Structure 1
Amino acid sequence: MTGRNARPGRLWLASAAFVALAATAGAASAQPLTVVELFTSQGCSSCPPANANLIKVKDRPGVLALSFNVTYWDYLGWKDIFGRQEFTQRQVNYEPSLGHDGPFTPQVVVNGSADAVGARSGEIERLISASPHAQGPALSLGQGKISIGSGKAPGGQADIWLVRYAKGVVEVPVARGENTGRTLPHGNVVHSLQRLGSWSGQATTLPLPAATGGLSTAVLVQSPGGGPILAAAAD
């Protein structure tokens, strides 16, 4: 075989390798996500260990870790700078199905269906290991749209939630309240939560609003009223 004839063979092999790598990357990005939600507060003295535990798992493949800062400890003297009433309400909605009379911090909820006290060493890892992968519809984000495949919507419908969060770790100095004088780390802090609509089981495409302020995006398909998360995707 001459050098001229050998070159196309090398190009074909290179192209085949590229296609294989692309397919592998696509399969990795389609990996089902385990959603770990930490309900925390800068005014809660037992929350810093839970914040640290979430930070340990936030970069784990297949895990979407989110910090939701609640507002009900603000009266202790420090108003949580990330706290929002809609985050508090999200936690309140979870409590009946999880067997609790009311919300508490720190609380970690995995896939909307199991919870633990997030400050306990190993509790987040245990829940992640024990939680089955979501069995909901295919879900993807891209090209300015949200694509949801067909499937079964428990009860006939599910909520579609848009989450904007700051990927990474931010340090917050606390000047008053139970954590006076401490600088608290927070991982993947949620800045906004918006219900975009509902999914009835049919394949659906929705516009994905552009993110601002350098925030990252996650979309959750979830049974209403604080039920299990059926599917999740993040950019």
Structure 2
Amino acid sequence: MASALSAQAQGAPNARRQPVVVELFTSQGCSSCPPANANLIALSRRPDVLALSFSVTYWDYLGWKDVFGKPQFTQRQVTYEPRLGQSGPFTPQMVVNGRESTIGYDLAEIETLVARNHRQDGPSISLGAGRIVIGAGTAGPEEADVWLVQYDPGIVEVPVRRGENTGRTLPHGHVVHELARLGSWNGRAATYAFPSGRDGFKTAILVQGRNGGPILAAATME
């Protein structure tokens, strides 16, 4: 069944506002990243936040290849930067609802960004029975993207044997393993096939403005 974060199903009497999506771009080869990893773990305990950890690949040359890193995660961060006013990607970086960016060291600052990015005007998302239903709403000047994210809901400890974090065991929370674009959404109600998930992982759906635009809606399913 859909989790409480899958709120705002049309007509659902117990609908709650959708979560704020906080994406951390991190790397096990980055000595500055562990404090931001810890902050994401703290945020992952909040029911009003969907915390997602994306491991990038551009620090792999420093001597340790991030075991979760994928080029498509790096590309997701690169796509964000022009809209966020950044000259290029860096770690650690937290992106809040696709709208604002911070380094991620200061948990109080991140919580301030979360508080001002709560939205209740996005389309409803209903998950289950092999399908995803996105309700009617405003897509913006262009069609929005519909993303499927599969992530580990637990905390994973990774021992690092080389590079800047040699000898440390780094905890990671809500590590993303798969990211796939399911299609586009033009503001009209639409239904998408719901691919089967991987055992032990959770699935999230993001409705997001094209080319790294703002996240309009999000939902998770067990």
TM-score w.r.t. the length of structure 2 is 0.91
- 1:41-86 Cα offsets, whole Å, 9 max, x none, are 0000000000000101102011100000000000000000000000
Name the SS of the counterpart of 2:141 in structure 1. Answer: helix
- Per the alignment, residue 7 of structure 2 pairs with none
Q: 2:128 aligns with which of 128, 138, 142?
A: 142
- Counterpart pick for 1:40 among 14, 20, 26: 26
What does 1:73-222 align with in structure 2 at a 5 Å threshold? 73-133=59-119, 135-222=121-208
Listed as ranges, the gaps of 5+ residues in structure 1 are: 1-25
Note if contact 1:167-1:187 (Cα within 8 Å) is conserved in structure 2. yes
Alpha-carbon displacement from aligned partner over 1:149-182 (angstroms, at most 9, x marks no partner): 0111112310000000000111000000000000
From the superposition, tell whether residues 28 and 112 of structure 1 become closer, same or farther in structure 2 (CA, over 3 Å): farther
CA shift, 1:27, in A, is 5.3
- Number of paired residues? 210
Check 1:123–1:97 CA distance in 2 against 1; reply closer, same or farther (3 A cut): same
For the residue of structure 2 that corresponds to 1:122, the secondary structure is helix
Q: If you compute each CA radius of gyration, which structure gives the higher value, 1 or 2? A: 1
Task: Indicate the larger mover: 144-153 or 26-35.
Answer: 26-35
Shift of residue 231 of structure 1?
0.4
Partners of 1:77 and 1:145 in 2: how far apart?
43
- For 1:229 and 1:121, the matched residues in 2 are separated by 21
The Cα of 1:144 is off from its aligned counterpart by 1.4
Q: Which has the larger displacement, 185-194 or 137-146? A: 137-146
Contact 2:142 2:210 in 1 (8 A): no
Which one-letter code corresponds to 1:149 in the other structure?
G
How many angstroms does 1:113 deviate by? 0.2
Superposed displacement of residue 120, structure 1: 2.7
TM-score (norm 1): 0.86
Shift of the alpha carbon at 1:132? 3.4
Distance in 2 between residues matched to 1:159 and 1:117, nearest whole Å? 26
Q: Which has the higher contact order (CA 8 A, sep 6+)?
A: 2
Decide whether the 8 Å contact of 1:54 with 1:124 is kept in 2. Answer: no
Q: What secondary structure is seen at the aligned counterpart in 1 of 2:175?
A: strand
In the aligned structure 1, how far is the partner of 2:94 from the partner of 2:210? 19
Aligned residues of 2:32 and 2:92 also touching (Cα < 8 A)? yes
The structure with the greater share of residues assigned to helix is 1
Matched residue, 2:220: 234
**Residue 122 of structure 1: CA displacement?**
2.1
Q: What's the CA shift for 1:143?
A: 1.4
1:189 & 1:28 partners in 2: Cα distance?
Answer: 29
Identity between Structure 1 and Structure 2 (%) = 62
Question: 2:29 & 2:135 partners in 1: Cα distance?
Answer: 41
Compute the RMSD of aligned alpha carbons.
1.3
